[in-house]
Chain A
Amino acid sequence: MRQDGQTSLAAGFLGLPSARSVRGSLARKVSLALVSILVFTLLLAAFFAYYKFESVYSSLVQSRYSFVVFTVKKKVEDSLNLGLALRQLRQVQEIIEREKARDSQILSIQVYDAQGEVLFDTDRGAIGTFVGSGLVDAAKASSAQSFGATDDDMLIVGLPLVNTLGKVEGGILLRYPQAYVEHGVGGLLIQLSRTTAELLAVFSVLAVAGLYILFGRVSRKLGSMERTLGTVLSEGGQAVPEAGGDPFEERFAEFVTKSREATDHIREATEEIGRLDRLA
C-alpha cells in the first residue's frame, strides 16, 4: 500500500502511542511448528523403519537357529521313537557339538529332560544343572512350535522333545548372542540416524527459508499498511491500495481515509469551538 502525500512518518510525531515491539516474528513461530512436525515425522518414520527391520531381521535369525534346533530335535526324537530313554542317547552330545562347530555364533546347545535337568550340553561342565522353570514350561506349552526367550545378553530358541505318545520328554535350547542381532541391525540404525539428521538439517533450512519468504510478504504488507496509516493521519494524503491489492487492503484504505476524515473533522470542530469561545 502506498500513500499520496508526505511519507516517512513516525507515530510519535502524531502523538500516537508507539506500537508494541516485535519480539517473536510470525515466521519464527510457524517455523518452530513446522520444524517440530518435520522432526516428529522423520523420527517416527525412522523409528518404524528401524523396528520393522529389527523385527524381520531378528525373526529371520531366530528361524535359522530354530531350524538348527529342529534338526537336532528330529534326530533325538528318531532315537526316542526307538524306545530309548533320553538320558541314554549318548550320540546326542556328538550331534549338538557338531552343530555348534558349524556355526561360530552358537554359544551353546542344551538338551534337558522333563524336569529341566540338563542331560547334554555343548558346555560339558553344565551337564547336571537345571534350566529355568520358565523354559521348561515354555517347552511344555509349545509342544510343536519353537519358542524364544532372552537370558542376559543371549537369545534363546527352543523346541520341546516329544515322544510317539505325544508326551513332552524334555527340550532343546540353543543360545546365540544378542550382540549378533544388534550388530546386524546396528548398521541400519547408524545409517538411519545419519540420514535423518542430514535430511532434518536440509529441510529445516528449506522450511525456515520458505516461511520467511511467505511471511515476509505478510510482514511487508502489514508494515506498509501501518506506515500509510501513520503518514495519512499525521501529514494527510490518501491511502491508495497497490495495483492488484486485495479486498482487505481496499477496506483498509477506506479505513485510513475515514480515520483521517474523522481527525480532520474533530480538529476543525475543536478549532471552530475555540474561535467561537475566543470571539465571545
Chain B
Amino acid sequence: MTLDRTRPLFVRLLLLAFMVLVPPVGLLTYDALGEFSKGLVPELDKKAETVGRDLAASIERAVGYGIPVDHLVGMDEFFTPVLRSNPEIRYLAVTNRDGRILYLTGARREVLEPFYAVADFDDDAERVRKSNLGDFVDLAQPISGKNGRVGHLHVGIDDGFVRGRLMEIVIDIAVVTLGALLVAVEILLFVVLVNVIGPMREVGMVIDRVRRGDFSHVSGSGSDDEVGHFVSGFNAALRYCDDLFRRLEDYIDEVKAAHFDKSVVERVGEIEARVRFLFRFSRQGQPDVITERQAADIRLPLFLFVFAEEMSRSFIPLYIRDLSVPIPGLSPDLVMALPIALFMLLIAVVSPSAALAASRLGSRRIFLMGLVPATMGFVLSAWAYSVYDFMLWRGITAIGYAMVTMACQSYIAQISKQERRAQGLGVYVGAVLTASICGTGIGGVLAERVGYRPTFVVAAVLAVIAGMLIYRLLDTPQVSEQRSSPHLRQYLGLLRNWRFSALILFAAIPSKIALTGAFFFLLPLTLMLDTAVDLGDVARIMMIYPIVVVTLSPLAARLADRTGWKAGLVALGGVIGGMALVTPLIENSPQMLALGVVLLGVSHGLSASPQLAMIPDVCWTECRNIGQTNVLAFLRFAERLGSFIGPLLAAAFLPFFGYYDSIVAVGAISLGLSLIFVVLSFAYGSGPHIEAELME
C-alpha cells in the first residue's frame, strides 16, 4: 500500500464501506418486507371482506325478490366500477352451489374454473373462505336466498398488489443505498485525502527534494493522528539537519571573521563551499513550509452544495404548477417554465462576473458569499407563496449557484498545474455528477414522503454544512494574480471561427435545449400524467441520466483521446440526444420516456468531454490569444443560453402539442440542429486550426 497515492488505500476503504453498508441495508429491507407483508395482508383481507359483504348483500336482495341467482342481469356493469375503484381487487365472481361460475369480471374463466370445480363450498356455511389461487387470493362470501345457500360471491385479491408495494420499498431503499454509497465515497475520499494522502504527498515532495540534497523545506501538514505524529518526527529530522547546518554556518562565519590565519580561512571557505555544493538549505534562516493544496479539498463542499440544488430537480415543475397563478399575457405553461428559464439565464449572466470575483477576492470568500443567496433561496423557496415570489427566490438561488460553482472552478484552476488541469476538472465534474445522482434520487423520494417544502429546507441545511466545511478547510484566501480579462470584442471575435460557432449553434445549444426544455421541465410533468407514476418514480427515472453520463463520460473521453474522433463523437451524441426525445412517437408511456432518458444520458455522456477537448484544436489561435479558460467560459456562457431557451421553447409548444408531443417537438429541433452538425463535422478535420491567425 503506497501511502502517497489515493487508490490503494481508498479501494480498501471502499470495499470495507461496501461490506459495512450494503448487508445491513439488505437485512433491514428483508426484515421490513416481512413485517410489511404481515401487516398488509390482513388489512387487504378485511377490505375484500367488506367489499364482498356489500356485494353479496345486494345480490341477496335481488335473490330475495325472487330472481334466481343464475338469471341476474347487468352483473358485469355492477362489478366493473367496483374493480375500477379498488385496484387491489382483481376479479369478482359469483358461483352457484356446485361451484360453477355464473358471473365473472376481471379474470379468465379457465384460470378459476378448475379450482371452483373441486372446492367444497358447502363446508362452514357462514364463514368467509380464503384460498390461494395462483396469483390471486380468493375470498368466498356465501350468498343466501329464502331457501338457504344459493352460491358464493368471490373477491379475488391480486397477490401482485402486495408484491408491487414491496417492490416499491425495495426500489426506494435501493436508491437510498446507492445514494449512501456515493455519499460514503465522497466522505471517505475526503477523509483519506485530507488525513493521509494529502500530508503524505507533501512528505513525498519533501523526500524528493532531500534525495537531491535539498533540505530547504519541511512539510506543512499537522494533525493529531499517526500521520501527524509521523510528519512531526519527519520534520524534526529535517529541522535537526537544518539546525546542524545553521550551527556550522555560524561557526564558519565566526572563524572567517575572527581568524588571523588566511590559509585557515581559505580552508574553511572550501569546506563551506563543499557543504553548500552537496546540500541545499533554506536562505530564510529556517526551512520553508510546503503546503500542497489539492482539487479534492473542495470536492466534498461542492458535492454537498450541488446535492442540495439537485434535490429539487425532480419536482421543481410540479411545485411551480402548484404555485402557479395567472400572469396576464402569458400562458399557464409559460408561467411554469419561467422560473426554470430565469434560473438558467441568471447562472449564465452571473457566472463570468463570479469567476472574475473569485480570482480577485479568492475562491473561499466567493464560495461563502455565494452560499448566502443560495441558502436564502432554498429557505424562501420552501415558503414560496406564488410563482411570482418563487421566481425571485430561484433567481437568488441561481446567483448563489453561479458564485459557488465558479468559486470551485476558479479554485481548481488556480491550484492545478497545467498538466493536471484536466484531472482537477475531473474532480469538479465527478463531484457534480455524483451529487446529481444522489440529490435527484434522494430528493425525489424525500419530497414524496415529506413534501416539496421540507425538502427545500433540507437543501438549505446541506448548503450550510457545505459552507461550514469551506470555512474550516480553506482557511486562507486564495487570490490569483490579477490578469486582465478579455474584452467583449475579443469574445465575440470567437464567433468568426466557423468551427466554434457551429459547435455552439449545432451541438452545445441543442444539447442544452434538450436537457432543460425536455428533461428538466417537460419530463416530470409528463411522467406525472400517468396515475401509476409517483414522484419517487419520477426521481428514479431522472437519476438514470447522471448515472449514464457518469458511466460513459470517461469512456468517451478516452475514446476521443485515442481516436481523435472528437467532432464525430459530438455529432453522434447530438443525434442520439435528438432521437432520445422522439421516443414518445413509438408510444406515449413512462417506459418510453425512461428509454429517452437513458438515450439522453448516452448522448451527453458521449459528447460532453469531446466537446471540451475539441476547443484547443478548433480555437488554437484564440486559446493562445485570450486563454483556453476564457474560450471555455464563453462556450459555457453560450450553451447556457440554450438552457434558458429550452424551457421557454417547451412551454411554447405545450398549448399546441400537449406534453408527450412537446417532448417530441423539442427533440425534433434538437435532432435537426444536430444533423446539421453531423454534416459540418466532416469539414472539421483534425489537429489545431490556425486559419484565424493567418487571417489576422
A residues with CB within 8 A of B: 11, 14-26, 28-30, 33-34, 37-38, 40-42, 44-53, 55-57, 60-61, 63-64, 67-68, 70-71, 102-103, 184-185, 187-188, 191-192, 195-196, 199-200, 202-203, 206-207, 210-211, 214-215, 217-219, 221-223, 225-226, 229-230, 233, 246-248, 251-252, 254-255, 258-259, 262-263, 265-267, 269-270, 272-274, 276-277, 279-280
**Is B9 engaged at the interface, CB distance under 8 Å to the other chain?**
yes
B217 to chain A, nearest CB (A): 12
Interface residues of B in 116-175 (CB under 8 A from A): 165, 168-169, 172-173
The distance in angstroms between the C-alpha atoms of A56 and B32, with both chains bound, is: 14
B interface bracket (residues with beta carbon within 8 Å of A) = 35 or more
| Other-chain residue from B47, B176, B204, B227 in contact with A64 (beta carbon distance below 8 A) | B47
A52 to chain B, nearest CB (A): 5
Q: Is the CB of A17 within 8 A of B236?
A: yes
Q: Is the CB of A218 within 8 A of B226?
A: yes
**Is B279 engaged at the interface, CB distance under 8 Å to the other chain?**
yes
Q: Is the CB of B3 within 8 A of A199?
A: no
B308 to chain A, nearest CB (A): 16
Q: Is the CB of B20 within 8 A of A49?
A: no
Q: Is the CB of B275 within 8 A of A233?
A: no
A210 to chain B: closest residue by CB? B16
Residues of A close to B5: CB separation below 8 A? 248
Q: Is the CB of A52 within 8 A of B86?
A: no
Q: Is the CB of B28 within 8 A of A195?
A: yes
Q: Is the CB of B238 within 8 A of A210?
A: no
Q: Is the CB of B224 within 8 A of A45?
A: no
A274 to chain B: closest residue by CB? B251
Q: Is the CB of B173 within 8 A of A11?
A: no
Q: Is the CB of A221 within 8 A of B195?
A: no
Q: Is the CB of B21 within 8 A of A64?
A: no
Q: Is the CB of B210 within 8 A of A255?
A: yes
11 examples of A-B residue contacts, CB within 8 angstroms: A22-B225, A30-B195, A51-B449, A57-B43, A188-B36, A195-B31, A203-B21, A226-B230, A246-B3, A248-B3, A276-B267
Q: Is the CB of B165 within 8 A of A52?
A: yes
User: Which of the 9-residue segments B241-249, B560-568, B631-639, B671-679 touches chain A?
Assistant: B241-249
Q: Is the CB of B237 within 8 A of A26?
A: no
Q: Is the CB of A199 within 8 A of B27?
A: yes
User: Which of the 9-residue segments B182-190, B509-517, B600-608 touches chain A?
Assistant: B182-190
A56 to chain B: closest residue by CB? B165
Q: Is the CB of B20 within 8 A of A15?
A: no
Q: Is the CB of B31 within 8 A of A277?
A: no
**Is B283 engaged at the interface, CB distance under 8 Å to the other chain?**
no
**Is B385 engaged at the interface, CB distance under 8 Å to the other chain?**
no
A50 to chain B: closest residue by CB? B32
Q: Is the CB of B259 within 8 A of A280?
A: yes
**Is B486 engaged at the interface, CB distance under 8 Å to the other chain?**
no
Q: Is the CB of B43 within 8 A of A64?
A: yes
| Other-chain residue from A17, A19, A258, A266 in contact with B275 (beta carbon distance below 8 A) | A266
| Other-chain residue from A16, A37, A63 in contact with B240 (beta carbon distance below 8 A) | A16
Q: Is the CB of A226 within 8 A of B268?
A: no
Q: Is the CB of A247 within 8 A of B17?
A: no
Q: Is the CB of A258 within 8 A of B229?
A: no
**Is B468 engaged at the interface, CB distance under 8 Å to the other chain?**
no
The distance in angstroms between the C-alpha atoms of A254 and B206, with both chains bound, is: 12
| Other-chain residue from A18, A34, A48 in contact with B172 (beta carbon distance below 8 A) | A48
Q: Is the CB of A192 within 8 A of B17?
A: no
The distance in angstroms between the C-alpha atoms of A266 and B247, with both chains bound, is: 9
| Other-chain residue from A14, A20, A37, A44 in contact with B224 (beta carbon distance below 8 A) | A20
**Is B324 engaged at the interface, CB distance under 8 Å to the other chain?**
no
**Is B261 engaged at the interface, CB distance under 8 Å to the other chain?**
yes
Per-residue interface assignment for chain B, residues 12 to 45, with 1 indicating a CB less than 8 Å from any chain A CB and 0 otherwise: 1100110111011101110110011011100110
The distance in angstroms between the C-alpha atoms of A35 and B149, with both chains bound, is: 64
Known: A21-B229, A47-B449, A48-B173. 10 other contacts (CB 8 A): A17-B236, A20-B222, A25-B226, A33-B191, A49-B32, A184-B43, A259-B238, A262-B213, A262-B215, A273-B252
Residues of B close to A63: CB separation below 8 A? 47, 86
B206 to chain A, nearest CB (A): 8
**Is B208 engaged at the interface, CB distance under 8 Å to the other chain?**
yes
The distance in angstroms between the C-alpha atoms of A263 and B222, with both chains bound, is: 25
The distance in angstroms between the C-alpha atoms of A185 and B176, with both chains bound, is: 22
B256 to chain A: closest residue by CB? A273
Residues of B close to A279: CB separation below 8 A? 264
Q: Is the CB of A207 within 8 A of B20?
A: yes
Per-residue interface assignment for chain B, residues 52 to 70, with 1 indicating a CB less than 8 Å from any chain A CB and 0 otherwise: 0110000000000000000
Known contacts A53-B39, A184-B39, A188-B35, A258 near B213 by CB under 8 Å: yes
B199 to chain A, nearest CB (A): 10
The distance in angstroms between the C-alpha atoms of A52 and B535, with both chains bound, is: 13
Q: Sorted from nearest, which 6 A-B pairs have the closest CB atoms?
A: A41-B180, A19-B233, A23-B224, A199-B24, A49-B32, A20-B232
Residues of A close to B279: CB separation below 8 A? 262, 265-266
Q: Is the CB of A37 within 8 A of B32?
A: no
Known contacts A258-B211, A266-B244, A38 near B236 by CB under 8 Å: no
The distance in angstroms between the C-alpha atoms of A60 and B86, with both chains bound, is: 10
Residues of B close to A207: CB separation below 8 A? 16, 20
Which of A24, A34, A246 counts the most B-chain CB atoms under 10 A from its CB?
A34
The distance in angstroms between the C-alpha atoms of A41 and B442, with both chains bound, is: 11
Known contacts A57-B40, A188-B35, A200-B24, A67 near B50 by CB under 8 Å: yes
The distance in angstroms between the C-alpha atoms of A198 and B236, with both chains bound, is: 47
Residues of A close to B12: CB separation below 8 A? 214
**Is B532 engaged at the interface, CB distance under 8 Å to the other chain?**
no
Residues of A close to B222: CB separation below 8 A? 20
Q: Is the CB of B176 within 8 A of A41?
A: yes
Q: Is the CB of B35 within 8 A of A52?
A: no
B258 to chain A: closest residue by CB? A277
Q: Is the CB of B25 within 8 A of A269?
A: no
Q: Is the CB of B230 within 8 A of A222?
A: yes
Q: Is the CB of A254 within 8 A of B43?
A: no
| Other-chain residue from A18, A46, A254 in contact with B211 (beta carbon distance below 8 A) | A254
| Other-chain residue from B9, B53, B176, B225 in contact with A48 (beta carbon distance below 8 A) | B176
The distance in angstroms between the C-alpha atoms of A246 and B2, with both chains bound, is: 6
Residues of B close to A255: CB separation below 8 A? 207, 210-211
Q: Is the CB of B1 within 8 A of A217?
A: yes
The distance in angstroms between the C-alpha atoms of A210 and B19, with both chains bound, is: 10
Q: Is the CB of A195 within 8 A of B27?
A: yes
Residues of A close to B289: CB separation below 8 A? none
Known contacts A68-B50, A262-B213, A262-B279, A60 near B88 by CB under 8 Å: yes
The distance in angstroms between the C-alpha atoms of A23 and B227, with both chains bound, is: 11
Q: Is the CB of B32 within 8 A of A188?
A: yes
B45 to chain A, nearest CB (A): 10
A253 to chain B, nearest CB (A): 10
| Other-chain residue from B195, B211, B240, B278 in contact with A265 (beta carbon distance below 8 A) | B278
Known contacts A52-B165, A63-B86, A219-B226, A34 near B449 by CB under 8 Å: no
The distance in angstroms between the C-alpha atoms of A218 and B200, with both chains bound, is: 11
Q: Is the CB of A19 within 8 A of B232?
A: yes
Residues of B close to A191: CB separation below 8 A? 31-32, 35
Q: Is the CB of B200 within 8 A of A248?
A: yes
Q: Is the CB of A269 within 8 A of B271?
A: yes
Which of B29, B244, B278, B445 counts the most A-chain CB atoms under 10 A from its CB?
B244
A73 to chain B, nearest CB (A): 12
A74 to chain B, nearest CB (A): 9
Q: Is the CB of A34 within 8 A of B188?
A: yes
Q: Is the CB of A206 within 8 A of B240?
A: no
| Other-chain residue from B165, B188, B237, B260 in contact with A259 (beta carbon distance below 8 A) | B237
Q: Is the CB of A229 within 8 A of B28?
A: no
The distance in angstroms between the C-alpha atoms of A267 and B251, with both chains bound, is: 12
The distance in angstroms between the C-alpha atoms of A52 and B39, with both chains bound, is: 13
| Other-chain residue from A26, A71, A252, A266 in contact with B207 (beta carbon distance below 8 A) | A252
Residues of A close to B215: CB separation below 8 A? 259, 262
